[in-house]
Amino acid sequence: MNYEIVESFGQMVREKGIDKDMLVSVIEEVFATITRKKYGLEAKFDVVVNMDKGDIEIFLEKEIVETVTDPTTQIELAAVKKKTNEPLEIGDDFVEIIDVSSFGRRLIATARQTLNQRIKEIVKDLIFNEYTNSIGEIIAGEIYQVRKSEILIIHNRNELVLPRNEQIPKERYKKGETTRVLVKEVRKTANGAHVIVSRSDSKFLSKLFEHEIPEIYDGIIEIKAIAREPGERAKIAVESHDDRIDAVGACVGMKGVRIHSIVRELNNENIDVINYIDDPSQFIIRALAPAKLKEIKIDKANKKVMVTVDRDQMSLAIGRGGQNIRLASKLVGYDIDVQKLVVEEEYDMDITEFRAELGEPLIERLVEEGYETAREVIEADIKSLLEIEGLTKPKIKQMKELMIQELEEAEIDSEEDMKSALEAKSKSEATEESENSEDK
């Protein structure tokens, strides 16, 4: 029985990596407990565990007396002579080896249960300490079970959990494949240490750059900020501490070889690498690339930015589904809002308004050729207009001058109408204010 107990726990030493001296100490402590239960709290004994021989020995020590008053610590001389032929006398100490089987099944079962519990606690602590020291590091493990809500990975005979929210969307995982993950969190539970790993965390991307790019590992290039939408796109800002080294060039590598290995690892996630700069305006310009910005207004107190772009740059600045502006906002640490540059349109008139001056046939021919407004005719090339039946150079000149004059007069009238409307509004407001004052 001794051998079976020691061997079963010796196997744990080999499988779980438990320190042998620690296990010996635990076994000694457990058997000391059941020895006190059987022989009393005052009993004098030693528990010796030999892991190599697979043996547990318990040495119970009692004082030899003529008449026993405390059976826990004393034994009669007559009883000693029945157990040994050694020349012992009253006052000597008698040491007896106790057979573990003499404890009975109940105490042995208790010992086994206690040992199992203690071993589980030790293993839990070992795993917890091992992975707590590895938080933020990348490790490689084998996928051994694919579930709907999580992936189970084996690493050094320990089970790691890759939850759905820590996976890269649309990435497929197959049993038996080796995958790299970031140790994100370690929790102690009733069932042991619970190790959570991730492939979607921004730190995973940061560590991949550190592994693939020696300059980052050596501290020559520093990652200043990362914004990431896993499996889709990421922006990473880097800064070189050596003027001779281009941070972006070092990260991308010759013909993109360095960045491509990271992209492949991340299920073809697009990665924009930009040079970091302390100036918020310049940093925002780089973060929103490839869009070209016209104006930037920064509210540092509220961490907000208003960016103005031309109409044709709006979609580039925002990105598909707003992705570009979301990532840029996260990267620079400001809430970025984009608006189109409003260009005041020049006053124009419909060409049909010149029917009386030019005549119905000419107006119809102009419309047929695609001229719908006065400005389109004014800005048109003379050669193009000469192709229209009935038009000559003098007539074209006269027609353009007429239209220019009409537009100028109409624009002046419009401005005067606006001015009159504003004056009327102002008078109205002044009258209301005066009436309100009188009422008070």
Write out pLDDT tens, residues 202-240: 999 999 999 999 999 999 999 999 999 999 999 999 999
Predicted structure pTM score: 0.62
Bridge partners of residue 96, in order along the sequence = 60
Q: What is the pLDDT of residue 9?
A: 60
Residue from 266, 260, 265, 282 nearest 328 by CA: 282
Boundary (domain end) residue, out of 96, 111, 128:
128
- Cα torsion 304, 309, 315, 318 to 10°: value is -10
Tell me the C-alpha distance between 46 and 62, whole Å. Answer: 12
CATH code of the domain covering residue 411? 1.10.150
Same domain, 22 and 112: yes
Three-class DSSP category at 33: helix
Say if 250 falls within a structural domain. Answer: yes
Structural domain harbouring 177? 134-198
**Amino acid symbol at 132:** T
Same domain, 367 and 339: no
Neighbours of 127 (CB within 10 A): 23
Angle at 56 between CA 54 and CA 58, to 5 degrees: 165
Angle at 416 between CA 405 and CA 435, to 5 degrees: 170
Phi and psi at residue 111, to the nearest 5° = -65, -45
Say if 11 falls within a structural domain. Answer: yes
User: How many domains does the structure of the chain reveal?
Assistant: 5
Q: Which two structure tokens, joined as six digits, stand for 79?
A: 């009883």
Same domain, 61 and 99: yes
Q: What is the pLDDT of residue 425?
A: 41
Stretches where the chain sits below pLDDT 50 are: 1, 417-418, 421-422, 424-425, 428-429, 432, 435-436, 438-440
Tell me the C-alpha distance between 55 and 51, whole Å. Answer: 7
Q: What is the pLDDT of residue 126?
A: 81
**Amino acid symbol at 294:** K
Same domain, 19 and 116: yes
- The total number of residues shown for the chain amounts to 440
Q: What is the pLDDT of residue 345?
A: 54
Say if 438 falls within a structural domain. Answer: no
Q: What is the pLDDT of residue 106?
A: 82
Say if 96 falls within a structural domain. Answer: yes
pLDDT tens track for 391-401 = 888 888 888 88
